[in-house]
């Protein structure tokens, strides 16, 4: 397992890389050019700048997250071919600096949806929260305004140039069904996967967050059956997954550990996040510790260990703790704690594998 850490770039993150360097076992940063509008080509000189910044701290930039898909591609509009060609050029440029994995998603309009960014937990920390009743009764434009008032830095999937056209986007999606979205995703993959293969890059789709329809928008990467269907659209090793335990775990019916075992050879990137779900459909993000949420992180890590996972993994969203000033979900402290929890499980499994069971007689996994 190669541990990496998401970083939003100089001037767009509260966290300096020298602090990330102090977290044991982190090999690289997960990055993007967040100021480049969705659909535009990424300039090679800008890509090289990030590589230089990372190398100053001995980090790799093997994984890029949020090379987002233009809405015209998802909608299947005639203009999609222009944006697909731009995407191909970006893949080729990323390959020039050694990128191995591109994380992306195919969610209409929003990359992720929450109703509250700093919901207080019992211990006084705060976390991202989803309230189902509020989503049902609020105008999405009003939700966007409410969230924007609480964030000073750009957030992937909530870029200003996209959000100012929300009304138009919702109108365009009125006639788009889930089957339409599947068809448009297939069209995209058929053109992109061969380019990724030629450049030794693996494409890793992120599940929909949350894994069910929000505001009436179609969602398709939501469960085991749909992931299986996705992988068969273009059944090639380069067409793979960013398996996110938190996104999928927001639906209690999803067994993420089982998915790790089933899709083992197609998981190129692992997002490890815990959430606590409620019977009314609400959920809140928690610490990575299994007992804090309803996602069985311990079983998920054992599944990764059992399959001999050698891909990239990162602690996904964390709480906001110790009065840290940070981007919602992306503080340094709780993600650092999360990494040490994940390494603790992994190291214990390694010891068990090596036969040193006498140290773990009371440990049941």
Residues acting as catalytic residues: 206, 244, 271, 316-317, 330
Both structure tokens of 93: 């440029």
The CA-based angle 155-158-160, given to 5 degrees, is: 100
Q: Are 77 and 69 in contact, with CB atoms under 8 Å apart?
A: no
- Cα Rg of the chain (Å, integer): 20
- C-alpha to C-alpha distance for 206 and 267, rounded to whole angstroms: 10
Backbone angles phi, psi at 349, to 5 degrees: -65, -35
Closest CA to 289 of 344, 333, 210: 344
Q: How far apart are the first and last CA of the chain?
A: 19
- C-alpha to C-alpha distance for 313 and 32, rounded to whole angstroms: 16
Total residues found in the chain within this entry = 365
Closest CA to 202 of 318, 330, 96, 104: 104
Identify any residues that bridge with 312 across adjacent strands, giving them in sequence order.
Answer: 2, 269
Q: Are 81 and 35 in contact, with CB atoms under 8 Å apart?
A: no
- C-alpha to C-alpha distance for 199 and 296, rounded to whole angstroms: 36
Q: Which residue has the tokens 């989503």?
A: 135
């Amino acid at each position: 397992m190669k541990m990496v850490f998401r970083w939003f770039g100089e001037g767009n993150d509260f966290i300096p890389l020298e602090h990330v360097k102090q977290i044991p076992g982190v090999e690289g940063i997960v990055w993007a050019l967040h100021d480049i509008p969705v659909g535009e080509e990424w300039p090679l000189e800008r890509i090289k700048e990030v590589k230089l910044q990372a190398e100053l701290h001995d980090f790799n930039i093997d994984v890029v997250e949020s090379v987002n898909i233009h809405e015209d591609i998802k909608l299947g509009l005639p203009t999609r071919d222009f944006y697909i060609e731009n995407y191909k050029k970006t893949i080729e440029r990323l390959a020039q600096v050694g990128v191995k994995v591109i994380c992306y998603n195919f969610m209409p309009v929003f990359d992720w949806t929450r109703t509250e960014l700093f919901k207080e937990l019992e211990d006084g920390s705060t976390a991202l929260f989803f309230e189902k009743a509020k989503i049902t009764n609020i105008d999405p434009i009003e939700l966007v305004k409410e969230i924007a008032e609480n964030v000073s830095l750009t957030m992937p999937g909530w870029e200003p140039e996209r959000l100012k056209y929300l009304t138009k986007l919702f109108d365009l999606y009125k006639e788009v069904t889930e089957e339409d979205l599947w068809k448009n995703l297939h069209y995209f993959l058929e053109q992109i996967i061969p380019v990724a293969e030629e450049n030794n890059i693996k494409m890793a789709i992120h599940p929909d967050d949350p894994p069910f329809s929000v505001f009436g928008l179609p969602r398709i990467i939501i469960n085991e059956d749909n992931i299986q269907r996705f992988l068969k659209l273009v059944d090639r090793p380069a067409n793979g997954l960013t398996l996110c335990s938190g996104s999928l775990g927001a639906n209690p019916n999803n067994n993420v550990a089982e998915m790790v075992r089933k899709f083992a050879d197609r998981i190129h990137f692992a997002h490890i996040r815990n959430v606590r779900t409620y019977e009314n459909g609400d959920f809140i993000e928690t610490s990575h510790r299994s007992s804090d949420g309803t996602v069985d992180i311990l079983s998920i890590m054992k599944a990764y260990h059992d399959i001999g996972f050698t891909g990239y993994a990162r602690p996904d969203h964390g709480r906001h703790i110790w009065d840290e000033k940070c981007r919602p979900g992306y503080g340094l402290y709780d993600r650092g704690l999360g990494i040490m929890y994940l390494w603790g499980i992994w190291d214990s499994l390694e010891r068990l594998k090596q036969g040193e069971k006498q140290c773990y007689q009371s440990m049941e996994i």
